[in-house]
Amino acid sequence: MIKDIPHLGNYIKISENEANIYERVGLKYPWQLTEYYASLIDPDDMSCPIRLQSIPDIRELETTFGEDDPLTEDENSPVPGVIRVYPDRIAVIVTNKCPVYCRHCLRKRFTRDRSDDLKGQRLETVLSYIRKDRAIRDVLLTGGDPLMLSDNELDGIIGGIRSIPHVEIIRVGTRALCTWPERVTDEFAKMLASYHPVWVSTQFNHPREITQEAENAVDRLLKQGIPVNNQSVLLREINDSVDTMLKLNRKLVSIRVRPYYLYQAQTLAGTKHFVTTVEKGLEIIKGLRGWTTGFAVPQYVLDTPCGKIPLNPNYLTGRDGDFVEMLNYRGEHWREYNPLP
């Protein structure tokens, strides 16, 4: 892990002014990245999409925008470590640490300078909460990044959850496939697979993140029968164009990762410079739908304290008697006979 400026200086040029900025921003929002992720930065390109996601920016200290916890996750927490928005599923925060502290992270509010891993009595409380509620059929391990825990620690947590009969599926949300692929070992994949059905959700945001190392890590999971879904975040000047999103999603399906969600960036403190308009997101979805493989088009969503809201371009333009009128992916009109009852 790279945690200090001299170490980071092996990967990018850092002026004195930039070093001061990284230190100032880091006091509020700590930074850290893996040597692997730093090696993907183009040192000559200040607008490199890897750099923008991982290197502190003075704009993070802008104070007139957003909330620390726009999804009110802290309020939607029936017991410490559990977030619950939906009736049949919960998210369990297993750690506050990550290999890379993404500058756009929804959980920028987390304290990162000390470990806050789920273990001991707190883990027992979470397991007991799940045991008592038979409506919970789907448990997502999240964080932080769960892969910051050792295989043994994860084995203990996942084994505890799997021993609860009404839990049908377990999901692990990790960005390690993108930011720290060597962490996803064959041993880890086998351990996960021993608790099937297990699904993995990850976050690739730019085609440049899809490297041979990332593909190999995905392959280790797929070989164990673990499906991998991608949840991108729409980020200004990083992936907010049809061309970038086409390349990203085509590359994802070529390594057999399903593009699942495209998240609208939240009204989150310290991230104003990443936020696009919803209209921009819809324009991107229109630029994908019909122009590439259907399952390479993610569902664009806005996450809210009361659940995800799908955001879709409108292809239905009206009704004329027994005909509905619509547009195809090229914007051409179509009339479909569809009699009223």
Query: Which positions lie near ligand SF4, rule CB under 6 A?
Result: 98, 101-102, 105, 107, 143-145, 175
Instruction: Give me the residue label for tokens 């806005």.
Output: 302
Alpha carbons 55 and 11: distance in angstroms, whole number: 11
Q: Which is nearer to ligand SF4, 112 or 220 (CB)?
A: 112
Cβ 289 to ligand SF4 shortest distance, Å = 26
Q: Which is nearer to ligand SF4, 101 or 204 (CB)?
A: 101
Cβ 34 to ligand SF4 shortest distance, Å = 11
DSSP labels for 102-131? -TT-TTTTS--SS-----HHHHHHHHHHHH
Q: Strand ranges (DSSP E) for the chain?
A: 82-83, 89-93, 138-142, 169-173, 198-202, 228-234, 258-264, 299-304, 307-310, 316-320, 323-327, 333-337
Q: Nearest Cα to 271, choosing from 98, 53, 76, 96?
A: 53
Buried b (16+ CB within 10 A) or exposed e, 205-217: bbbbbbeebbbeb
Q: Which is nearer to ligand SF4, 49 or 144 (CB)?
A: 144
Q: Which is nearer to ligand SF4, 129 or 180 (CB)?
A: 180
Contact of 260 with 231, CB cutoff 8 Å: yes
Cβ 240 to ligand SF4 shortest distance, Å = 17
Q: How many CA atoms lie within 13 A of 26 on its CB side?
A: 15
Q: Which is nearer to ligand SF4, 93 or 297 (CB)?
A: 93
Cβ 326 to ligand SF4 shortest distance, Å = 37
Cβ 265 to ligand SF4 shortest distance, Å = 11
Greatest alpha-carbon span in the chain: 72
Alpha carbons 76 and 93: distance in angstroms, whole number: 13
Alpha carbons 107 and 116: distance in angstroms, whole number: 14
What is residue 240's three-state secondary structure?
Answer: coil
Joined together, the tokens standing for residue 116 give 């806050």
What is residue 143's three-state secondary structure?
Answer: coil
Cβ 98 to ligand SF4 shortest distance, Å = 3
Q: Which is nearer to ligand SF4, 263 or 286 (CB)?
A: 263
Q: List the strands of the sheet with 198-202, edge to edge.
A: 82-83, 89-93, 138-142, 169-173, 198-202, 228-234, 258-264, 299-304, 307-310
Instruction: Give me the residue label for tokens 């990284």.
Output: 22
Q: Which is nearer to ligand SF4, 157 or 246 (CB)?
A: 157
Q: Which is nearer to ligand SF4, 93 or 158 (CB)?
A: 93
Cβ 174 to ligand SF4 shortest distance, Å = 8
Cβ 206 to ligand SF4 shortest distance, Å = 14
Cβ 215 to ligand SF4 shortest distance, Å = 19
Q: Which is nearer to ligand SF4, 175 or 286 (CB)?
A: 175
Joined together, the tokens standing for residue 35 give 């040597």
